[in-house]
Structure 1
Amino acid sequence: MKFVDKVQITVQSGSGGNGLVSFRREKYIPKGGPDGGDGGIGGNIVFETNHNLQSLMDLKLKKKYQAKNGEDGKSKNKTGLNGKDTIIKVPVGTQIYDSNKTLIVDLNQNHQKYIAAKGGKGGHGNSKLATSVNRAPFHAKKGEKTSALELILELKLIAEIGLVGAPNAGKSTLLKVLTNSNPKINNYPFTTLFPNLGTLNLNYKEVIIADIPGIIEGASKGKGLGQDFLRHIDRTKYILHLVTIQENIKDTFLEYTTITKEIENYKLSNISQKKKLILLTKSDLYNNDHINKTSELFLKNNLQTISISSFNKKGITSLVEHIKKILI
């Protein structure tokens, strides 16, 4: 299914039911007092998170949501039934904005609920409107009417580890090796067009890993896949930055600095506080001397690296042990 991480929808809670004008009519009581009941309360629009969802695709297909109206009041002082709430299921990590793009709520916990639009109040029936002056009112109150709201939903995936790097750096292959997931893998750039999630099973916990689509120079300004997926890095606790080992050692380091610059240009609020490790990928294509020289260049810039190959599994055990240490 296509991945969607931003949608605009219209929601409207239910209007309140109208109060009823009614008088008690029973045998031997031809002129009973008022007994019109109140209208029911309109249904709410409620967002609820579900960790099994990973996309806003369902909301892309259906963009209008209407809760049920409250029923009108009944005779014999019976209140009309309340309108049924409309529950909108969204992934964990969904942020809701108003039409002015002001953040309303950040839904970052599983089964978290948020009432985006409350149902209208029911109107009073004439039994509630009786006074000492007017004991038999011939009028009732209308239920509260509601208006439609325009909302913008954005999804920021929540993962403990994010895989970032240039297109074709080996992120999807590494995700498959670590988590046994099945992302699309081919030997050309932009194979991954949306974030993939996988679970690394350690002895004491499960670690969610997100494969962020490839970032290129100018991505923070909309080039390539643009800013659509940079926002997902903001949620990750730890970054594994994959850099392809190249024939020219300086080109390898240039790839790293280019991607790092794009992430920083996106102005993520806490990017500087995130811990990260650089993975030198496709090490099976080069000899140890070349790999060591590449690692030394990064070390001179105070950057820790691990060389890996998802093809022959070289360095994967060391990487998993490193992940265990940082998550303890």
Structure 2
Amino acid sequence: MTTFVDRVELHVAAGNGGHGCASVHREKFKPLGGPDGGNGGRGGDVILIVDQSVTTLLDYHHSPHRKATNGKPGEGGNRSGKDGTDLILPVPDGTVVQDGAGNVLADLVGHGTSYVAAQGGRGGLGNAALSSARRKAPGFALLGVPGDLQDIVLELKTVADVALVGYPSAGKSSLISVLSAAKPKIADYPFTTLVPNLGVVTAGETVYTIADVPGLIPGASQGKGLGLEFLRHVERCSVLVHILDTATLESERDPISDLDMIEEELKQYGGLDRRPRMVVLNKIDVPDGKDLAEMVRPDLEARGYRVFEVSAVAHTGLRELSFAIAEFVAASRAAKPKEEATRIVIRPKAVDDSGFTVVQEEDGLFRVRGEKPERWVRQTDFSNDEAVGYLADRLNRLGVEAELMKSGARSGDGVAIGPEDNAVVFDWEPTVMAGAEMLGRRGEDHRLDEPRPATQRRRDKQAERDEATQEFEEFKPF
């Protein structure tokens, strides 16, 4: 049964925003109490967060489909809908988030680091929020925006300071078991280690983590053996330690050729051949192993390697090795740039950025693309004439109609708003006036024009301020 998974494809869906409510306040002796429809709630986000207690992606291997809850619709009496609950997905430290094309979206390192994998949809505004001095009694509300749907790939790259690499049965698991408190599986046959093992080593004042990576064989970088599956766990390590078997039973192998093969695989994988490394000649407790170690040590030192002769079984040379690795780790940490304090980066919109584009396609259709127009279309109830008029008003204020005329659109031309697979298509009719002016006094009730008490005047002024705030939120540069 699978107990360790370091790569999964995850299908995440954020919650949809709740619909706004179109309601009129009704009270005895006050038949025209005004709009009181509440706003819909926000859909829940899907958030990945690093949790030190999680070491594998196994849960997502068995359940790859995850969805946050939807926002609740608004209700009458100015009652807003409840926001959807965010879905928190704990992942191991060192998880890389990629899209389907292999582009890195986030690299999650450090406890508590988070990434919003899918954004929840906005809740629709109720008719109380849409009312203004010009539109006193709107008979419509905005629909909630659907949440994001994302297909992402989670890939775990072990966060360790040191990686032990070498042939199967070279003694990597035995070495990590005596250097640290880790208890990996140890046996006298190849590929005993099927998953990376982590151990914590203390050498003087330096504490570092060490990883035992499954054995490599020729062709590992191309997928042979277990190499391709676990070479990614070496990528974050600061120091590579070659474990060479000096007592191998295979006559065609020797420490020098083993080292050359592993170095070639690291080079083929990409980037790993430039890491600091040292060489450990293991199994010197065997008489032939000791003799072979003494023979090859001068050649290895001539190549510039620091060489250590050890025996994991007899615990020989381990202290010297442990402190030497600590020196490498300390030097690597000192060479890394210090992390700067978190800065807020503001990216204002360019002066000439209208927020949308209009492109005429080969079949003569004019397609409008942009975050705001597409979102506004999704929020519109096209079965309600007032809602359609409100959409026309918003698009006109944004400059869509002027841009269509500039692009050569004529009366009756087809216009699509949105992507090809999910667009709203209509025959365009240019207008001299748009929005509330074009619609006359639609959405108002003349019976509400009678002298208003001070309380109602204050409510109308507050509604005007709310509308101004809403317009600012829609058109602010960031």
TM range (shorter): over 0.9
Aligned equivalents of 1:104, 1:240: Cα separation in 2? 31
Matched residue count: 326
Bigger mean CA deviation after superposition, 151-160 or 297-306: 297-306
| Counterpart in the other structure of 1:303 | 305
3-state SS of the aligned residue for 1:141?
coil
CA shift in 2, pair 1:229/1:165, >3 Å: same
Q: How does 1:264-303 map to 2 (within 5 A)?
A: 264-268=267-271, 271-286=272-287, 288-303=290-305
Q: How does 1:156-235 map to 2 (within 5 A)?
A: 156-235=157-236
Amino acid at match of 2:299: L
1:263 maps to 266
- Does residue 1:317 correspond to 2:297, yes or no? no
* 2:77 is the alignment partner of 1:76: yes
Partner of 1:29: 30
More helix by share: 2
1:195-251 superposed Cα distances (whole Å, 9 cap, x missing partner): 011111344343111100000001111111141101111110111110001477972
Assess if the C-alpha contact under 8 Å between 2:20 and 2:74 holds in 1.
Answer: yes
Distance of 1:153 and 1:264 partners within structure 2? 25
CA contact (8 A) 1:166 1:243 kept: yes
1:53 and 2:54 matched? yes
* Maintained 8 Å contact 2:41/2:83: yes
Which deviates more from structure 2 when the two are superposed, residues 307-316 or residues 243-252? 243-252
Report the equivalent of 1:116: 117
Deviates more, 1:291-300 or 1:17-26: 291-300
Cα deviations across residues 256-281 of structure 1 (Å, max 9, x unaligned)?
Answer: 1111111111013xx24421110001
Residues 246 and 252 in structure 1, CA contact (< 8 A), matched pair in contact too = no
Q: Equivalent residues in 2 for 1:68-147 (5 A)?
A: 68-147=69-148
Identity %: 36
Helix, strand or coil for the counterpart of 1:21? Answer: coil
3-state SS, counterpart of residue 235 of structure 1: coil
Letter in 2 for 1:311: V
TM-score, scaled relative to structure 1:
0.95
Equivalent residue letter for 1:201: T
Q: TM-score, normalised by structure 2?
A: 0.66
1:69 match: secondary structure: coil
8 A Cα contact 2:206 2:326, kept in partner: no
Gaps of 5+ in 1: none
1:61-89 CA distances to partner (integer Å, 9 max, x unpaired)? 11011111111112221211110000000
Q: How far is 1:42 from its partner?
A: 0.6
Match of 1:16 in 2: 17
Could you tell me which amino acid in structure 1 is paired with residue 313 of structure 2?
A: F
**1:327 positional shift:** 3.1
**Which portions of structure 1, spanning 4 or more consecutive aligned residues, are displaced by more than 6 angstroms?**
247-250
Instruction: Quote the Cα distance in structure 1 between the aligned partners of 2:100 and 2:244.
Output: 39
Cα separation, partners in 2 of 1:174 and 1:200, compared to 1, 3 Å: same
